[in-house]
Structure 1
Amino acid sequence: MEHIGWLSLIPPVLAIIAAIMTKNVIISLFLGSFSGVLILTKGAPLTATKTIIGDYIFAQLTDSYNAAVLVLLVFIGGFVALMEKSGGAAAFAEKVIGFLNTRAKTQMAAWFGGIIIFFSDLGTPLLVGPIFEKVFDKAKISREKLAWIVDSTSSPVAVLIPFIGWGVYIMGLIQKEFEGLKIAESDWDAFIQAIPYQFYPILAVLMVPLVAFSKLEFGAMARAEKRVQETGALHWPNSKPLRKPENMKELEKTKSKPILIWLPLLVLLVTLFGMLIPLGFPFQKIDGSDFRVALSTAYLFAGLLLIFMMVYYKVKKLGEAFDIYVSGMQKMMTVAVTLVLAWSLGTVIKNLGTANYIVENMDGNVPVFLVPVILFIAGACMSFATGSSWGTFAIMMPLAIPMAFHLDASLYICIGAVLSGGVFGDHCSPISDTTILSSTGAGCDHIDHVKTQIPYAILNGSAALLAYIIAGLTSSILSLVAAIVFMVTAVVIISRWQRGLISRSHP
């Protein structure tokens, strides 16, 4: 296997260290890429600068596949911005609030609301949180519980959906590695096949209804629920709830209709599958370019419909709606830059033979069935330290796919392990943007949210770890069933044990 030895490890290691120190994905990816090019050009800074711009960054932008992905991201950004500002989610919630006459129904309504807003991981806490604040207070459910629910339906839901920004970004990383390894399978098929092996996101989403219906709670969450039910106190005496951003107040004042949330999504899905089904979907392989054209068209039609509806229902004037659409497109620039630099880093790592060097040292020394476990743990640690799952995906995917390919491990399980580890670490990290926004959206103290969420996250992470061991040994989808059984059993045992402790300490 061709590689340049231990020097090939410098770019990914430097990218990880920079991400931890700067908390900035773009800076870390650039430093990692530049260090690799500096090695390839034998330490010539000027030549390395010219090379990384001309042969790596520009090359990524002129690639037809990459260009199509970037255009698609722009359409997605515009649509998401319109959905967040339309007020449709708040109007929809107001229609169903009257039916929430039990604690379980209230929690499930917030859970369902988070799933509906699958198109925006950051939009979920900022939309669902403020809508359900007073409803949870009335039902005597803690703000910490609300923060956990919206956090569990933000990135864990988004990472499972192939046709939103998350999926497009991840498929872009997958496709780049498939091209380098000459794997004929499409990025879409690989993503879909990897979904059942995204153990942590699936468990995080499923745990909410489990807790809501069973009333099985443990850790700091159980104490928070006891506080609200017995004293009515929304916060602990020393808590400092995060203040709502101004845009939340604006959303609360917006007079809208529920149709502004469900009809554009319906049009999006009908357009997408209406264009793909004549091509043989889902029974035949669909060319990647056809998929991206269909998806771009679907987001364009849904966005134009939403602009028309916002004007028709007098939610916004035409100029305001169009400005929101354009501003949403502009916000995707950070994602686009991140993706271009991720592609560049992946190409640099390939040219250095980093994956080859790792595989050569692992082959015969590490059992193949442990590869998914190693990727899951590495991704979780990196994401926890940086607070960024996207940055973790960008650094880990160029290493994970070649490792799985050369070591004859399952590509789907390894892809799922990287994605699962990234979301797990992000869920536990106090510096993660979704963690912070979930605290903000639910109006609770940030540290209280972290303390109450981590025990649930660690339980799910442990179940996922066990599932990756089973999956590595069997390559069977039954590993997901094992993870779910482990989660349910652990929740029952731990919650009953804690109830016994509480009852003995509070006679």
Structure 2
Amino acid sequence: MEGTIFSIIPAVLMLVLVLITRNVLISLGTGILIGALFIHDFAILDSIREIWTIFYEIFILDGALNTGNILLIAFLLLLGTMTAFLQASGGSRAFGEWMIKRVKTRTGAQIMTPVLGLVIFIDDYFNSLAVGQIARPLTDRHKVSRAKLAYFIDSTSAPITVISPISSWGAYIIGILGGLFAANGITDIQPLEAFIQMIPLNLYALSALLLVFLVAYFKMDIGPMRTHEQRAIETGQLLNPEKDNAPGDLGDTFVPHKGGKIFHLLIPIAMLIGATVVSMIVTGANASKGDVTILTTFANTDVNLSLFIGGLSAVLTGLVFHLQQEEPRANGLTIFIEGIKTMLPAIYILVLAWMIGSIIGTLETGEYLAQIVNDASISASLLPFLFFFIAGVMAVSTGTSWGTFGIMLPIAAEVAVITDINMLLPSLAAVLAGSVFGDHCTPISDTTILSSIGAGSNHIDHVLTQLPYAILAAVAASIGYLIIGVTNQVLLPLLATFIVVIGIGIIIGFVNKSKINKA
């Protein structure tokens, strides 16, 4: 069943179950089981062995520790511990009280979050987790729901990193472009130059970033987000009370220390950011061969190791501050245990997401979708639109933007070179845009999971509340890509995309305000 229409069934079934049951673990588990049965033609024992092998290889691969995965899991546990120290020390409360005096409006608290996301553009993992730790005390004090905070984080992190050449994403994409241009004999443009020219053509990323600020300013609470926001404003409940505590949320586990100061929060977070960035630069420079540049550094950096070093530095800093505080203070061992416990649900989701990703890879779901594009007779004017759509579907199915880049960028380049070379950069940009769109719509995306963790939001609540905004931005981007195909221009499609997003934003904001005034 590999590489056939049947290969998409496990992914589709998983997504349908997520929407019906609202239980991500059951949905992922079902997708894994059905996928394993498909791989082995419903031989039960072979399917069980397949599932065990995939799980085992998450931790041990080719007889050695799978350090990348282990370091990321360890970092999440450290992040939970750091969060516990920030709360127990009173640092989160002190920071919230300090910021609420300076950011006096709920709108200002919301706008601050994506602004932080734009500043921390180096890596999407790092962005998702760091922004959440900084913004959460403020948004909590202004009664911004955790689902909305997760949306702000997720819809800023991937869109900003995918258009930044100085980022782990940018370096990866530029590396792929270099190979594609060499393979197709393209010599009149360099990879970095092409990447920069593709920025205004990445219509989904740009429209998603614009939409985030419109949502914050015009109070565009649509679909499930409206329910979360109304509950937060009216009752102060930032999470759905019918569901378990979200990853990273400690509830009322600790009574904040009365002597808590702002630096009890700011310095550990500064250590997290500083140690991570320094580690990314050092590991990237050490792994670069030949001339060490900014691009080669970020192309070769070890993100997971850097995150672990940053997380460990932050936890040790939090521990030192905790030991310096006067009695009574929370038990240090209890802080470690409770912090770790808050991250276990997220780790379960992440491990199952890795497993379903491996199953889908074995079934060659991505290759099947790509082959459909390759075999179709496509008009050159439709290439950007179709590549945006197909990349989106592939990213939703596989849960990986980077995997979609690797599969679809070569196909887009080959088709554009053969069909119409003028559509090369728009088609490549459309693949990048569609990959991020699909990443925003699927519950098995690493970035989406980590955004839920960073915000302390229930994961399915985050996925379902972000979906209408992602679709809105995608519709606007689709119109832009159709215009690109017809006009082969850059500014007109970008302007049209922004006009659609702004127009819808103003209308929704006006309707919401009218409803509030009537109430």
Pick one of 136, 139, 142 that aligns with 1:135.
142
User: 1:29 and 1:198, CA in 2 relative to 1: closer, same or farther beyond 3 A?
Assistant: farther
| Pair 471,81 (structure 1): closer, same or farther in 2 beyond 3 Å | farther
Which one of 24, 29, 34 corresponds to residue 31 of structure 1?
34
Is 1:307 the equivalent of 2:315?
A: yes
Distance 1:195 1:234, change over 3 A: farther
User: In the alignment, which residue of structure 2 is the partner of 1:152?
Assistant: 151
2:437 alignment partner, one of 406, 420, 441: 420
Amino acid at match of 1:132: T
Aligned counterparts, 1:88-487, within 5 A: 89-102=92-105, 104-109=107-112, 111-112=114-115, 119=126, 121=128, 128=135, 131-136=138-143, 146=145, 149-160=148-159, 199-200=203-204, 202-210=206-214, 212=216, 215=218, 234=234, 245=245, 247-250=250-253, 253=256, 255=260, 256-276=264-284, 279=288, 280=291, 282-286=293-297, 290-292=300-302, 295-314=303-322, 319=333, 332=347, 334-349=349-364, 354-355=368-369, 357-364=371-378, 367-375=382-390, 378=393, 391=399, 400=408, 403-404=411-412, 407-408=415-416, 410-424=427-441, 458-470=471-483, 474=488, 482-487=496-501
CA contact (8 A) 2:28 2:352 kept: no
Q: Which runs of 5+ in 2 are unaligned?
A: 19-23, 185-190, 324-329, 417-423
In structure 2, what residue type is equivalent to 1:92?
A: F
Cα distance change on mapping 1:344 and 1:378 into 2, 3 Å: closer
Query: Cα–Cα, structure 1 residues 58 and 441, in superposed 2: closer, same or farther, change >3 Å?
Result: closer
Residue identity matched to 1:423: H
Q: Contact conserved, 1:125 with 1:441, CA < 8 A, in 2?
A: no
Query: What CA distance in whole angstroms lies between the structure 2 residues aligned with 1:434 and 1:54?
Result: 25
**Deviation string, structure 1 residues 230-250 (Cα, Å, up to 9, x no partner):** xx98269xxx96689471223
Residues 287 and 99 of structure 1, relative CA distance in 2, 3 Å threshold: closer
- Inter-partner Cα distance in structure 1 for 2:49 and 2:170: 28
C-alpha distance 468-211 of structure 1, shift in aligned 2 (>3 A): same
Structure 1 residues 370 and 361: CA distance shift in structure 2, 3 A? same
- Asked if the contact 2:202–2:433 (Cα under 8 Å) also holds between the matched residues in 1, the reply is yes
- C-alpha distance in structure 1 between counterparts of 2:224 and 2:348, whole Å: 38
The alignment's C-alpha RMSD in Å is 6.0
Secondary structure (helix, strand or coil) at the match of 2:7 reads helix
Distance change >3 Å, CA 286–CA 313, structure 1 → 2: closer
Q: Is residue 2:502 matched to residue 1:488?
A: yes
> Counterpart of 1:101 in 2: which secondary structure?
coil
Residues 323, 33 of structure 1: CA spacing in aligned structure 2 closer, same or farther, 3 A cutoff?
same
Aligned CA distance change for structure 1 residues 56 and 212 (closer, same or farther; 3 Å): closer
Distance in 2 (CA, whole Å) between partners of 1:441 and 1:55 is 28
Aligned residues: 456
Letter in 2 for 1:159: A
Letter in 2 for 1:77: L
Distance 1:116 1:318, change over 3 A: farther
| Native 8 Å contact 1:218 1:498 kept in 2 | yes
Q: CA deviation at 1:96?
A: 1.8
CA contact (8 A) 1:149 1:208 kept: no
Measured in 2, the distance between the counterparts of 1:121 and 1:281 equals 27
Q: Distance in 2 between matches of 1:204 and 1:122?
A: 19
Q: Tell me if structure 1 keeps the 8 A contact 2:113–2:135.
A: yes
The two structures have a TM-score, normalised by structure 1, of: 0.64
CA distance in 1, matches of 2:340, 2:272: 18
User: Equivalents in 1 of 2:6, 2:151: separation in Å?
Assistant: 35
Q: Deviations over 1:305-324 (max 9, x none)?
A: 22221121117766556657
Q: Amino acid of the residue matched to residue 484 of structure 1?
A: F
CA displacement at 1:268 relative to structure 2: 1.4
How far does the alpha carbon of each residue in 1:392-411 deviate from its partner, in whole angstroms, 9 at most, with x for none? 76996786456535534644
